[in-house]
């Protein structure tokens, strides 16, 4: 098959500047190419990189994009401009996977040579499925994403597949260095919607308890251009922790865009805390599943999307982030796990096994099976011309 993958407007592929969507589709493109398919990835132009190259069997087309902004309406306008630019550069294909909002509105209708259109919404849908046309398949990252799409337009019921998100289990799994202290960690965007104020509240409560030695590690981008709430927000979190904990027990690390370095960060963590508040933003929880693959125990908020992979008291823990005493409840869970290494080990082992269902080769094989079912011999003839 000829497969084109269209990325969003603000990050490049390969994902040297981060981005969960960019990381996922870059790796999937490599898997598709490894299976003998002809793969093209369209992403943002990046300084020092060619606009056209073939790398590791994948063709890259890079176009002028834009920096991400704080305003949703502005990002949607930029996405519209990006979608127009991409539309006129699309190569013939059997399948075109779109990670942009506006492009599916007209792509399958006006450019049939681009093949069957597949959409994977990276965020919770915000009305676009009312106006989408000629979309062959929708890849939903979680059950609540599927439910939201069907509320917008029930006509998509037969075309939705819930697949979650892939993770690189091979890179993440591996030996963990012996540690004299328990590391609580968060890896992701340093943004308010991730529930980091709630996590800091819990850590301040935890600091007054008599427990085995523990530390906290935050790793991720704080800059607004990379999806954070800004350096001032990160500094405010650090100041609150500095008032309650010795400096050697608190670490704020920059975002790791190198896969090996990121995997090493994950393997530092014993308890991965992901207390997201973004009920309308979280679509799966890639960071939590990556942490599971690396052997960390996930502790997540009670967002519905996490229920697709997290089984409380079996492969992780969950707490109700909407309760008035949410921080105290989170502190109790962390304290219990810090004090019970055998329970941590049991949860960690089960988490690592469950994460294998999202390994890239397994996930890519599921997608390719779906794509094959969408493509007819006539489609293949058209893309070959």
* Exposed/middle/buried for residue 343 (C-beta within 10 Å: 0-12, 13-18, 19+): middle
- The pLDDT of residue 382 is 53
Domains of the chain in sequence order: 2-166+359-379 (3.40.50.2000), 169-358 (3.40.50.2000)
Q: What is the dihedral of CA 200, 256, 288, 245, to 10 degrees?
A: -20
Which pLDDT does position 176 carry in this prediction? 82
Distance CA 248, CA 217 (A): 11
Average pLDDT, 10 consecutive residues per value, the chain (385 residues): 96 87 93 97 96 97 92 93 97 97 94 95 86 94 93 94 93 85 96 97 96 96 90 97 96 87 94 93 90 97 95 97 96 98 97 96 96 78 53
Whose tokens are 């994460």? That residue is 355
> Do the Cβ atoms of 27 and 166 come closer than 8 Å?
yes
Going by the DSSP 8-state scheme, the letter that residue 228 receives in this structure is S
Pairwise CA distance, residues 213 & 35, whole Å? 47
- The rounded radius of gyration (Å) of the Cα atoms in the chain is 21
């Amino acid at each position: 098959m000829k497969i084109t993958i269209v990325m969003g407007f603000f990050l490049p592929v390969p994902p040297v500047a981060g981005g969960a969507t960019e990381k996922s589709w870059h790796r999937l493109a490599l898997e598709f190419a490894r299976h003998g398919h002809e793969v093209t990835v369209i992403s943002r132009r990046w300084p020092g990189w060619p606009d056209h190259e073939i790398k590791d069997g994948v063709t890259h087309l890079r176009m002028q994009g834009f920096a991400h902004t704080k305003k949703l309406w502005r990002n949607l306008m930029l996405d519209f401009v990006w979608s127009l630019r991409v539309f006129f550069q699309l190569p013939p294909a059997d399948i075109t996977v779109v990670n942009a909002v506006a492009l599916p509105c007209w792509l399958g209708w006006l450019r049939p040579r681009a093949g069957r259109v597949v959409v994977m919404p990276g965020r919770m849908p915000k009305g676009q499925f009312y106006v989408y046309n000629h979309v062959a398949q929708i890849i939903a990252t979680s059950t609540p994403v599927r439910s939201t799409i069907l509320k917008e337009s029930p006509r998509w019921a037969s075309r939705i597949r819930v697949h979650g998100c892939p993770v690189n289990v091979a890179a993440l799994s591996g030996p963990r260095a012996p540690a004299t202290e328990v590391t609580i960690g968060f890896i992701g965007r340093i943004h308010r919607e991730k529930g980091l104020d709630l996590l800091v509240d819990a850590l301040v409560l935890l600091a007054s308890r008599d427990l085995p030695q523990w530390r906290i590690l935050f790793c991720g981008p704080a800059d607004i251009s990379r999806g954070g709430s800004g350096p001032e927000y990160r500094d405010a979190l650090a100041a609150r922790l500095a008032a309650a904990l010795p400096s050697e027990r608190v670490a704020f690390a920059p975002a790791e865009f190198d896969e090996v370095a990121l995997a090493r960060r994950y393997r530092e963590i014993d308890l991965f805390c992901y207390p997201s508040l973004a009920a309308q933003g979280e679509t799966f929880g890639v960071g939590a599943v990556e942490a599971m693959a690396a052997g960390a125990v996930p502790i997540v908020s009670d967002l519905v999307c996490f229920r697709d992979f997290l089984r409380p008291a079996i492969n992780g823990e969950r707490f109700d982030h909407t309760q008035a005493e949410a921080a105290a409840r989170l502190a109790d869970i962390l304290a219990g796990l810090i004090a019970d290494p055998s329970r941590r080990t049991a949860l960690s082992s089960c988490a690592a096994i469950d994460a294998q269902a999202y390994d890239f080769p397994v996930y890519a094989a599921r997608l390719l099976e779906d794509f094959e079912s969408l493509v007819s011999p006539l489609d293949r003839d058209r893309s070959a011309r």
